[in-house]
Amino acid sequence: MGQEGLRLIVSGGGTGGHLFPGIAVAETFLAYAPANKVLFIGTERHTDMRVLAGRNFQTASISSQGLKGKTVGARIKSMCQLPFSLIAARKLIVRFKPDLVLGVGGYVTGPVLLAARLMGIATCIQEQNSVPGLANRIIGKFVDRIFISFPQSKRYFPRGKCMLSGNPVRKELLDLIRLPEKKDDVRKTLLVLGGSLGAHKVNILVVEALERVKVKLLDTFRVIHQTGKDDEKKVSQEYSRIGLDAEVAAFFDDMAYVYKEADVIISRAGATTLAEMTVLAKPMILIPYPYAADDHQRKNGQFLVEEGAARMFVQDDLDPKELAEEIMELFSNGEKRKRMAEAARRVGKPDAVDVIVKEIVTLASGSRTLSLKP
């Protein structure tokens, strides 16, 4: 590797689901060798700025937009912007001189990976979902390696390029695995997650469901609820009215804390969150986002349902009464929670980030050796 170390660009962003796997890889890559360097290229969105702030690697951003699900006008605008995004990506690549570029999802990865490929630099993608998006299906044709999180993703990519790694989980969450198991005391905690942007429908369903069972749960139960910024005040007021002990926030920066406290989790079925919940062996109630591209959240969740790690409901078919009954069933049945936790643990891949980083180091080292040849 040499004293100067290896240089990695990680590109992705727009949501926590794309950012956190990239952060896990970046930080593990830096820990792998003191001389290694990382540049994380994200978007100009507020989510990216907040999540990437204060990290121990360089950051940059470029402007880019997607095509799928857009109006004709928006697609034309995106296509017109692409050459400028490529130029901006190329400038960052020339300045940083990476040995390898890894894309972890989001519109920004397209121009960065394309620019790197045109410059002859080794490239990889990390696909979080069971069904890859259109961009990754296209990009997968020319990258050197594709890290997948679900076995069924392999059929969407060229043969011989895929490695079943699992989805990278942040170190601060992996550290929780080594802690003693939470004592089986009387007081239990329900964690509600709607993703980094929140989920209005899930927020309303949960509050209305808990109002139905508050008498039975009042003294033995508390809620930690991530609402997204639009619903924070309203949900907090509703819990106060109901009389339930609830910790409510638009977004929790300290996810290690909320996961550690949780006995059961109600969540969307984004791949990164599922990876975290399975690694931490948490029983889960999933309400997939119904408008996710290619219905990938439902397909992500179905895998865990089949493994016995989760219960899943279609948002438009779920009413507060049914959700209340499911919450009561899980919180009153310790054996069922234990079986679901064990199933989640079997599915989880805590070594995903190490598998990915070791392969990146191998590819990057080979790429550097080739570039040094006369």
Question: What pLDDT digit, counting tens, does each position of 233-251 carry?
Answer: 999 999 999 999 999 999 8
Has residue 2 been placed in a domain?
Answer: no
Q: Are residues 153 and 231 in the same domain?
A: no
CA-nearest of 96, 163, 106 to 358 is: 163
Question: What pLDDT digit, counting tens, does each position of 216-231 carry?
Answer: 776 788 999 999 989 9
Has residue 316 been placed in a domain?
Answer: yes
Has residue 285 been placed in a domain?
Answer: yes
Has residue 27 been placed in a domain?
Answer: yes
More confident residue, 105 or 209: 209
- The pLDDT of residue 106 is 84
Q: Are residues 220 and 363 in the same domain?
A: no
More confident residue, 135 or 372: 135
More confident residue, 296 or 76: 296
- The CATH number for 114's domain is 3.40.50.2000
Q: Are residues 153 and 64 in the same domain?
A: yes
- What residues contact residue 51 under an 8 Å CB cut-off, 6+ apart? 16, 19, 20, 23, 196
Has residue 280 been placed in a domain?
Answer: yes
Domain extent at residue 214? 174-347
The CB density around residue 281, as the number of other CB atoms within 10 Å, is 20
Q: Are residues 52 and 135 in the same domain?
A: yes
Q: Are residues 36 and 143 in the same domain?
A: yes
Integer Cα distance of 211 and 208 in angstroms: 5
Q: Are residues 194 and 301 in the same domain?
A: yes
Q: Are residues 38 and 137 in the same domain?
A: yes
Supply 136's token pair. 């990754």
Q: Are residues 257 and 165 in the same domain?
A: no
The mean-pLDDT minimum among 82-86, 97-101, 213-217 falls in 213-217
Question: What pLDDT digit, counting tens, does each position of 275-333 carry?
Answer: 999 999 999 999 999 988 889 999 999 999 999 999 999 999 999 999 999 999 999 89
Beta-sheet strand order (sheet of 37-42): 58-61, 37-42, 7-11, 100-103, 122-127, 145-148, 162-164
- Mean pLDDT computed over 256-281: 95
Has residue 286 been placed in a domain?
Answer: yes
- Mean pLDDT computed over 79-91: 82
CA-nearest of 207, 187, 202 to 266 is: 202
Has residue 1 been placed in a domain?
Answer: no
Share of the chain above pLDDT 70, in %: 90
Q: Are residues 340 and 324 in the same domain?
A: yes
Q: Are residues 18 and 42 in the same domain?
A: yes
Q: Are residues 36 and 184 in the same domain?
A: no
Tally of domains in the chain: 2
Helix (H, G, I), strand (E, B) or coil at 321: helix
Supply 129's token pair. 């979902």
- What residues contact residue 125 under an 8 Å CB cut-off, 6+ apart? 102, 103, 104, 105, 109, 113, 136, 139, 140, 143, 145, 146, 147
What is the enclosing helix (H) or strand (E) of 103?
Answer: strand 100-103
Q: Are residues 128 and 224 in the same domain?
A: no
